[in-house]
Structure 1
Amino acid sequence: MHWLLYIGILSGTFFVMEAITWLTHKFVMHGFLWSLHQDHHQPQPGFFEKNDAFFIIFAIPSFLCILFGSLDKIYWLQAIGFGIMAYGVAYFLIHDVIIHQRFKWFSRSNNTYIRAIRWAHKMHHRHLDKQDGESFGMLYVHKKYWAKVRRDKKLLENKR
């Protein structure tokens, strides 16, 4: 029965990470650490970005929670670490693979969720500086982006 609690903690952590990501993106990445995030909005030549440092920044608490949770048999702490890690994997797949296609593993999708998240991210990236941003989350898509994608899909279907 304890494993259900740990799965709940892992899942809860995963969902809380979306709020943490939103807050971090808006107030840290578009705030005092803009110098690390700027090259993501104003791309430079090369595969790696300074922005990739945020992968390490987010991986550290995950690693420490898993490590100390394992060593001290504090399994709820370990579950938090795995929840952070699961969110990191989802973030990587959505942001780097599907949205920016830094890795050419998948082609563009007609899936409504994928199209809505890509549109929301496109609206975020239309701002080249740290002010006046929008859509700072990653997995949650605001209803205005869903509505736009659904309208476009309906228009396309009506043209056929």
Structure 2
Amino acid sequence: MNFLIVLGVFITMEGATWLIHRYIMHGFLWSLHRDHHDHSHDGKLERNDLFFFIFASPAIALLYLGVKQEFSHWFFIGLGISLYGMAYFFVHDIFIHQRAKVFSKTNNPYFLAIRRAHKQHHKHLGKEDGECFGFLWVPVKYFKMYFNKK
């Protein structure tokens, strides 16, 4: 049962990420997310990196609460959120934005589709007119670009 909680939360986080990215990061918290699009920051860190703390806080609180209650369901909800956050970090920050210069070359159609959709998202410098707000699942047309090649 606990595995299903973790898996369900991980999958649900994709929808939550889309909604948060579209309506919060490109909405009332655009002031924190803007420098991720226009590269107006002066160092390696961006104001956008504050979202790590914003999103990690509830996961940490749930993990703590779950441990205090002898590994109740709260722990496994927090674990699902944390695992999604780790996947996000590795795919978004390391693979797509190359914050660490590893995994820069791939022929994997899934990863090429995700990278392409993310580039489409970043072609918009403003908070309006965005597209591709998802993370691990992006519009099918990007998958078709790479999975249908012969």
TM-score of Structure 1 vs Structure 2, range by shorter chain: over 0.9
Percentage identity across paired residues of the two chains: 50
Amino acid at match of 2:4: G
Counterpart in the other structure of 2:70:
73
Between the aligned partners of 1:47 and 1:110, the Cα distance in structure 2 is 28
Counterpart in the other structure of 1:8:
4
**Larger CA deviation: 101-110 vs 32-41:** 101-110
> How far off is 1:150 after superposition?
3.8
**Which of 16, 39, 53 is residue 56 of structure 1 equivalent to?**
53
Structure 1 residues 109-142: Cα deviation after superposition (integer angstroms, max 9, x where no partner): 1100010000000000000000000000100021
Please say if residues 10 and 82 of structure 1, whose CA atoms lie closer than 8 Å, have aligned partners that are also in contact: yes
Is the counterpart of residue 84 in structure 1 residue 99 in structure 2? no
> How far off is 1:74 after superposition?
4.9
Amino acid at match of 1:78: F
Between the aligned partners of 1:150 and 1:121, the Cα distance in structure 2 is 17
Between the aligned partners of 1:146 and 1:12, the Cα distance in structure 2 is 23
**Which of 114, 119, 132 is residue 116 of structure 2 equivalent to?**
119
> How far off is 1:107 after superposition?
2.3
Q: Name the TM-score, length of structure 1 as normaliser.
A: 0.89
Between the aligned partners of 2:142 and 2:61, the Cα distance in structure 1 is 36
Amino acid at match of 1:90: A
Give the count of matched residue pairs.
149
Between the aligned partners of 2:71 and 2:87, the Cα distance in structure 1 is 25
Q: Quick check: which has more Rg, 1 or 2?
A: 1
Amino acid at match of 2:114: I
> How far off is 1:149 after superposition?
2.7
Between the aligned partners of 1:30 and 1:149, the Cα distance in structure 2 is 28
Counterpart in the other structure of 2:20:
24
* Aligned counterparts, 1:97-136, within 5 A: 97-136=94-133
**Which of 142, 147, 150 is residue 144 of structure 2 equivalent to?**
147
Gaps of 5+ in 1: 155-160
